Amino acid sequence: MRSIAHRFPAAAAARKLKVATAGSWSGLKIALDEFRHSTRLEDAHAELDWYEVYVVRDVGARNRTPSPSRIPSPRLRMLPQISGKTSSAEAVEWAQMAYLACILFHDCQGRDKPLLPTRILDVGRRGGSQDIKLHITRGERERYFCLSHCWGTAQPLTTTRETLDEHRGNIPWSQLPRTFQEAVTFTREMGVRYLWIDSLCIIQDDRDDWKKEASRMFSIYENADLTLSAAAAPDSQGGCFATPPSEYVGWAVPYRNTRFWVRRQIDHQGLLQNGSGPMFHGGGPCPLVTRAWVFQERLLSPRVLHFSRHELVFECNGGCICECEAIDNSYIWHKKMWNKMRTGADTAQRTWAQILMAYTKLNITNPSDRLPALAGIVGRIKQKRTGRYVAGLWEETIVSDLLWHVATSRPKPSTRYAPSWSWASV
């Protein structure tokens, strides 16, 4: 769809909006209705409520935020502009500020440098070699990031027993899929040297190594300074970075001695509610958050930076913010649930029930992974519960745990990977 800004320049918008009277919200709203109708925004499947009018905040000395007396209506919000390109220097600066604010004002993670995982990618420094290498750790403590991504139908680059030594020496840039390249680039831009990616840091054809590292998943994500979420990428070639259509970035509308902006609102529901709805109006789903493996990655990570199709979204144990500032903390229900258990404000039994209700709605490629994909969460909950954990159920609450039912039917797996009395068998 061609951008509305391209088809209907700001001059045309200004002519329509001049009928609004200063300080009159109703007059301005009527003018906007007329403008949207005359420009046929409904032809682009755009409802009135999908657009917002605002005054830009903090746009520099030449275009300072106007004083209240010069704003067309006191009900116009002052909002920041989104970066318009999630790979830009402005986007990196926004992410750094969100990250710094979390460190200063939240208690999401300890201040000490954590132990590095068994293996981790050494991405080097900004301005150095593009190539990376797999580092075998020896008890070092250092900051690191994780990447949360969809594998998709095509298997991404992996470390196997055959390629382990080769990857320890060097992994050429040209061999990395786009999502990995862009995660490495962003990690370097943030001033961090180490990045953990599951397909490269776990030996994929070594079952014992896979089981061992899967059992450590909770510590890997909990200790990461930041998890980069390739939210809009369906596979390893989808990438992290995006440039949204200009209608989401906004265009200026002159008004008397100042100007305001109009942009299409970004719908965040699908991203922040585990894929329960579309991520954007007409923009398709957010593939990553529909995946079962990703659920524990989001839950365990103290901080997550989502690369969506339109902007960056920063979520942590203490709150959530996006570039357009449309999100509030009510969206991070999963973080609130998890924090209540961690702090003792809620029982581990109740938290487990809530986890299963959300987790079992998500998609998983291999039915055999249904229980392993929860191993990290189970590892943390074991510290809060007594008794054994068997096939998705807990010994001390076995009677109530057996009272599960299937809310929506789905095909049964041809091979059963859990006992028939376990929810993981269907």
- pLDDT score for 37: 53
- CA separation for the pair 144, 138 (Å, rounded): 15
Asked which of 221-230, 338-347, 383-392, 415-424 is least confident by mean pLDDT, the reply is 338-347
Surface-to-core class of residue 411, CB atoms within 10 Å of its CB (0-12 exposed, 13-18 middle, 19+ buried): exposed
- pLDDT score for 93: 92
Instruction: State whether the Cα torsion 193-199-204-207 is positive or negative.
Output: positive
Residue 338 — very low, low, confident or very high, per pLDDT cuts 50/70/90? confident
Residue with tokens 């074991």: 382
- More confident call, 225 vs 354: 225
- More confident call, 376 vs 160: 160
Instruction: State whether the Cα torsion 48-49-50-54 is positive or negative.
Output: positive
- pLDDT score for 126: 81
Q: Which of 195, 175, 222 is nearest to 121 (CA)?
A: 195
Q: Which two tokens stand for residue 105?
A: 């004002």
User: What is the model's pTM?
Assistant: 0.81
| Span 45-74, average pLDDT | 49
Mean pLDDT computed over every residue of the chain: 77
Per-residue pLDDT tens digits for 222-245: 999 999 999 888 889 999 998 888
- CA separation for the pair 294, 125 (Å, rounded): 28
- Residue 278: CB atoms within 10 Å: 14
- pLDDT score for 66: 38
- pLDDT score for 304: 93
Residue 54 φ then ψ, to 5°: -155, 165
Bridge partners for 284 per DSSP: 280
- CA separation for the pair 325, 77 (Å, rounded): 11
Q: ∠ CA(116), CA(118), CA(122), 5° rounding?
A: 65
| Span 259-274, average pLDDT | 69
Mention every residue, 6+ apart, whose C-beta is less than 8 A from residue 78. Answer: 54, 55, 56, 57, 65
State yes or no: pLDDT of 180 exceeds 90: yes
Helix 25-38 vs helix 10-17: crossing angle, to nearest 10: 130
